[in-house]
Structure 1
């Protein structure tokens, strides 16, 4: 592993740790100051709305000023969010401002990271491996962040939120140091062969783009649905909460395993075949989970679902990176983020509405059916 790769993966892990520690800590602080329940939803939306609006412009920014510079801006905003929360986080307005800063900073950091990976090589097999390692690092950070709440627990229901904010402020300085060590590209460092090929319209006309974006958004929404509805399924079937936690852990570890070996898998079977096969596996596993299966089989099904769901994000990233012109890869990555955010809002809501009468098992079944349709659609992606 090269020094630059180690810095990038470290930057990715730390970005996710800070983000996924600050977000629940902000909710706990809101509860500490007796924030009305309706405002908790507003705080959650503050993290997503600003990045959704700024996702496409952020892609143009990273293409214009370079990945390292964009990562530095993102790191400054993430650090600023922790500082704002530490100094002024005793009102709901301050919490909203801090959450908005965190959302935009997270967006800038992630787009910079993904563009840096996309520009690291033009070889498809190396792109698949690179994005597999990158998404593994991001998943690791997302797991460590919430787990770190234990370190700040006082033995009660609410952790020491002020200590969390201060700790994240210090961690933000380490994030800035890593951002400074990332490769710094100047404007025009990745020129396209044809300047007209770098526009959004040209990206939207790429063969297979619709299938790639749709696949990415549905797979990510399926991950969110399992996180929300698997506990609900446990309640519905009187399954112990600790076992549900084990199932979710199995799913996460399985996805991380797939990502570690993604380059080898696509080298053996081809990118499109791995994407279609993984999505089919996840579809079958979730459809089966909608049935009253024994617990040992549920564990096997969640392992299969995790293996399948783990391929969607890195493969669509590497496909976009390989298809987009060099001068437009930041915009391509940001376009995928827009699709993902939209999918995370629309798809779980639609699944819940359609399966309202069937409960959690119905939601999982409909999600599995949706993945089945997406797998069929992904067969129309261009051959590797």
Structure 2
């Protein structure tokens, strides 16, 4: 069955809040006179604690604490919202509050994905496709809040934005009571597994998990790189920022469209085949963005890339859920999230070091090659019978 409306609304609010507070924290740092080169530390602080505790939180959820994970995650995000609103007068305080927000976000995401995995076990592709669509909608709505508050000003009113973030998190926390409970059978199975035994799976399952996580990591990193480097490419080629904004919107719309039709695609093509074929298509389209083509062609390439990239995330969730032994689903989903955080941090950092020699267009070529390599790895690693 599809995830219920309350869970989808919860996913929307969670991503809306996260995508409001992260750029707002960067604006607050600029207000405080922080060196722009250090602003990137704010993004790193958001991912720091999840890298350390993701698997432990997954085990905690497998042992029957899904609802508590959701409540604690919402509470941490509300508390950090109050903190960042009232006590963020230095870079250090901003880093601390964003680390707490990152931890709360992880607790909530693992809880959400565990519920989706259980509620939609009979139709995983449909459930995760709809879930990620709701999350994408929240990510797309956040810039509207920034634009509404900022208007034509270079720096928006961060106090108002932090207040909006905190209010959103308060609604999120209040909605937690409307969410369904996790299945007791899965909780009993989860309590029987230690962390070591949960991660000790047959070689075929281990290869499948590795392939799904690698695919998820590279696809998410590619989306982030498009968001960062397409504006830079526009500056190089003297493309108006409004046009770049439209192109990014095309990519986002295509991504959401693919997630709504994911179940039909997976049933026709097959889950494993769809995973690597969509990544091949994404790699070719992203790499082609480096070519000096007309704007209309760039829009078509971004629509193709966005549609293909939108498949990777929910499909990797479905593959991990289907392959995970009973009682370990949350652990493996959390490990997948941890891999995503590594990809979001490490891959852009590595590419930024080579941008001077390969150019902005070269970043798209390298990203495309990386996606093609990931597709080949997924074809080899992920089992065909999922």
TM-score category of the 2 structures, normalised to the smaller one: over 0.9
Contact 2:186 2:326 in 1 (8 A): no
Contact 1:22 1:164 in 2 (8 A): yes
Contact 1:55 1:334 in 2 (8 A): yes
Q: Which residue matches 2:363?
A: 363
Displacement of 1:188 in angstroms is 6.3
1:170 equivalent in alignment to 2:171 = no
Displacement of 1:214 in angstroms is 0.9
Give the count of matched residue pairs. Answer: 381
Q: Alignment RMSD, CA only?
A: 2.2
Q: 1:166-315 maps to which residues of 2 (within 5 A)?
A: 166-185=163-182, 189-192=186-189, 195=192, 199-203=197-201, 205=203, 206=205, 207-315=207-315
1:161 equivalent in alignment to 2:158 = yes
- What does the per-residue CA deviation read over 1:24-43, in whole Å, with 9 as the maximum and x for residues that have no partner? 22222222222343542332
Q: Distance in 2 between matches of 1:245 and 1:349?
A: 24
TM-score scaled by structure 1? 0.93
Q: 1:82-161 maps to which residues of 2 (within 5 A)?
A: 82-123=81-122, 126-153=123-150, 155-161=152-158
> Measured at CA, do residues 348 and 95 of structure 1 come closer, stay the same or move farther in structure 2, by a change above 3 Å?
closer
> Measured at CA, do residues 231 and 67 of structure 1 come closer, stay the same or move farther in structure 2, by a change above 3 Å?
same
Contact 1:63 1:188 in 2 (8 A): no
Contact 1:279 1:372 in 2 (8 A): yes
TM-score scaled by structure 2? 0.92
Q: Which residue matches 2:325?
A: 325
> Measured at CA, do residues 150 and 238 of structure 1 come closer, stay the same or move farther in structure 2, by a change above 3 Å?
closer
Q: 1:40-51 maps to which residues of 2 (within 5 A)?
A: 40-51=39-50
1:21 equivalent in alignment to 2:20 = yes
> Measured at CA, do residues 151 and 268 of structure 1 come closer, stay the same or move farther in structure 2, by a change above 3 Å?
same
Displacement of 1:187 in angstroms is 7.2
* SS of residue in 2 equivalent to 1:243: helix
Q: Which residue matches 1:382?
A: 383
> Measured at CA, do residues 142 and 193 of structure 1 come closer, stay the same or move farther in structure 2, by a change above 3 Å?
closer
- What does the per-residue CA deviation read over 1:279-312, in whole Å, with 9 as the maximum and x for residues that have no partner? 1111111222122112211111110001110110
Q: Distance in 2 between matches of 1:37 and 1:290?
A: 27
- What does the per-residue CA deviation read over 1:89-108, in whole Å, with 9 as the maximum and x for residues that have no partner? 23333322221111111111
Displacement of 1:274 in angstroms is 1.4
* SS of residue in 1 equivalent to 2:200: helix
> Measured at CA, do residues 91 and 338 of structure 1 come closer, stay the same or move farther in structure 2, by a change above 3 Å?
same
Q: Distance in 1 between matches of 2:313 and 2:201?
A: 18
Q: Which residue matches 1:8?
A: 7
> Measured at CA, do residues 59 and 171 of structure 1 come closer, stay the same or move farther in structure 2, by a change above 3 Å?
same
Displacement of 1:331 in angstroms is 0.4
Consecutive unaligned residues in structure 2, runs of 5 or more: none
- What does the per-residue CA deviation read over 1:190-238, in whole Å, with 9 as the maximum and x for residues that have no partner? 3439945973432584242211111111111111111111112112222
Q: Distance in 2 between matches of 1:238 and 1:154?
A: 24
* SS of residue in 1 equivalent to 2:34: coil
> Measured at CA, do residues 90 and 352 of structure 1 come closer, stay the same or move farther in structure 2, by a change above 3 Å?
closer
- What does the per-residue CA deviation read over 1:95-126, in whole Å, with 9 as the maximum and x for residues that have no partner? 22221111111111111111111112333xx1
Larger deviation: 233-242 or 29-38? 29-38
Larger deviation: 73-82 or 89-98? 89-98
Q: Distance in 1 between matches of 2:372 and 2:199?
A: 29
Contact 2:118 2:183 in 1 (8 A): no
